[in-house]
Structure 1
């Protein structure tokens, strides 16, 4: 059991409408699912990715209007890198972000890749990276209505940064439990990969000090992709045998998953590839209407009354 790709990364935001405008209009991603947090249905859960929200392209956001700011610290997931097709694409993105009023770094090396660094409207730390070795997910499909030409389009999220106080503890968990391998050790940090190359890369950075206090722009969890519920059950048993305490398997309607807290605010979710977002939507209209799982459908009127329209 090794990971050939990651599934999604989930963040906390203050205003879903601003988030939606940034990720669709500026970054050119498709909103593939507009739904609610199943554990707290008064808040949006928004999904963005390629044409159908292929695992490995999904960025998801929980809207919490009353959330405060993030107090940055250690033992947290601290940055997400998005892959673009070429170094020339980085130049395009630098100009596009600057014109959109986004502060963006000069081109630099991040995790051994050419990159530019910036933050979204909630101060989520992001990077665009160009790596000749990256092959987009096989199922990745460009969305023809994107505001970004295919030549420069985001191809999925790749390197995800974990900032920890105890690097050895994290290395043990990643290698002995989850089967990642060390691909590079530098003064900057340690890069780990599963069987899927760059799209399974985790970048572990050491930092002492207080544990991060999450707020808007913080990363709630990263999800690792598993084939089906049978494999998910095997992972649950394996995690418990290792000494960590996962949740039970939860039906999230579009996939089934379990969660495990590694340390501090670093949470891993393991999520099945299916059934996916086409379960209750058509490819032409994904993300346009509010979709609810069956158990929330009887409460649709009350739920919609609590949500600010995005469009």
Structure 2
């Protein structure tokens, strides 16, 4: 049976790439690890932020959509992104930092079992900082050594991701019955699951909510990507999903990783993405995010692609 190894990345829509970069690098202290384009729509930036090298599990990615309107909130959507920080002392640091930058936030609150701070990015994407309190995270997660945020308070990687759906049972059944997730807590309207039993850094929270489906816009989440070991495992997942009647895109070579995409019964879009080869395949680690990197099949169109993009600095 192939295994899901936790979160890989999560992808959102941003209205302004320059503003987005400023917020996630200068305020949140993440590294821009890959400045590239949407491989399906190369006129659009695709920006990846994460730790020192964009290790799977630390990556937040954004597609720039300058014409995007407001997200209409509703159900059947991925709506809250948890980010782990080292401790409750880190939350006090972040409360002061966010306030100093004029950003409204919840103050330190309870979020499930976590102490947390909830706030929004410039496009009103909901983020929540979660106190890790010394719990284990993957050893290879390495905070960016040039971050403006002190290392002892730096964002470690992705934590619990909240998905709001009309039918909790249908989404939970797919996660447990097919993808191998373990339920660790459940109420009438909410279920918390782990990709790797006992490891909180791969958690998904499924919340049931009736009503109209969310309509995407700036600050909405496009998909959640989950990590698989390699392309061999990815092919096994492709066959398994199809065996159970779930339509997939088939395996797609994204150069930095290989992927496949599918929807759950509540129309939540998931991606399965391989652990490697990673962002240093075409760039030394010291140069990550400093230039426009393109996969080989787009290199011939570089001039036209660059002409359609606005500088980020």
Query: What is the CA distance between 1:4 and its match in structure 2?
Result: 2.5
Residue 141 of structure 2 corresponds to which residue in structure 1?
140
Runs (5+) with no aligned partner, structure 1: none
Q: Any conservation in 1 of the 2:83–2:130 contact (CA below 8 Å)?
A: yes
Q: Any conservation in 2 of the 1:111–1:188 contact (CA below 8 Å)?
A: no
User: Are 1:95 and 2:96 counterparts?
Assistant: yes
| CA distance in structure 1 between the partners assigned to 2:210 and 2:290 by the alignment | 44
Structure 2 residue matching 1:296: 3-state secondary structure:
helix
User: Are 1:272 and 2:274 counterparts?
Assistant: yes
Residue 204 of structure 1 corresponds to which residue in structure 2?
206
Structure 2 residue matching 1:303: 3-state secondary structure:
helix
Q: Aligned Cα RMSD in Å?
A: 1.2
Q: Deviations over 1:58-101 (max 9, x none)?
A: 00000011111110110110110000000010010011011111
Q: Any conservation in 1 of the 2:176–2:182 contact (CA below 8 Å)?
A: yes
Structure 2 residue matching 1:106: 3-state secondary structure:
strand
Q: Deviations over 1:185-210 (max 9, x none)?
A: 24662100011611210001111000
Choose from 229, 232, 237 the match for 2:231: 229
Residue 33 of structure 2 corresponds to which residue in structure 1?
32
| CA distance in structure 2 between the partners assigned to 1:262 and 1:212 by the alignment | 15
| CA distance in structure 1 between the partners assigned to 2:21 and 2:38 by the alignment | 16
Alignment of 1:244-283 (within 5 A): 244-283=246-285
| CA distance in structure 2 between the partners assigned to 1:106 and 1:294 by the alignment | 46
Q: Any conservation in 2 of the 1:36–1:46 contact (CA below 8 Å)?
A: yes
Runs (5+) with no aligned partner, structure 2: none
Residue 125 of structure 1 corresponds to which residue in structure 2?
126
Q: Any conservation in 2 of the 1:15–1:65 contact (CA below 8 Å)?
A: yes
Q: Any conservation in 2 of the 1:212–1:265 contact (CA below 8 Å)?
A: no
Cα gap change, 1:188/1:153 in structure 2, threshold over 3 Å: closer, same or farther?
Answer: farther
Q: Any conservation in 1 of the 2:167–2:266 contact (CA below 8 Å)?
A: no
Alignment of 1:157-236 (within 5 A): 157-186=158-187, 189-195=190-196, 197-236=199-238
Q: Deviations over 1:104-148 (max 9, x none)?
A: 002111122111100000000000001336322221112111000
* TM-score (normalised: structure 1): 0.97
User: Are 1:64 and 2:59 counterparts?
Assistant: no
| CA distance in structure 2 between the partners assigned to 1:265 and 1:118 by the alignment | 26
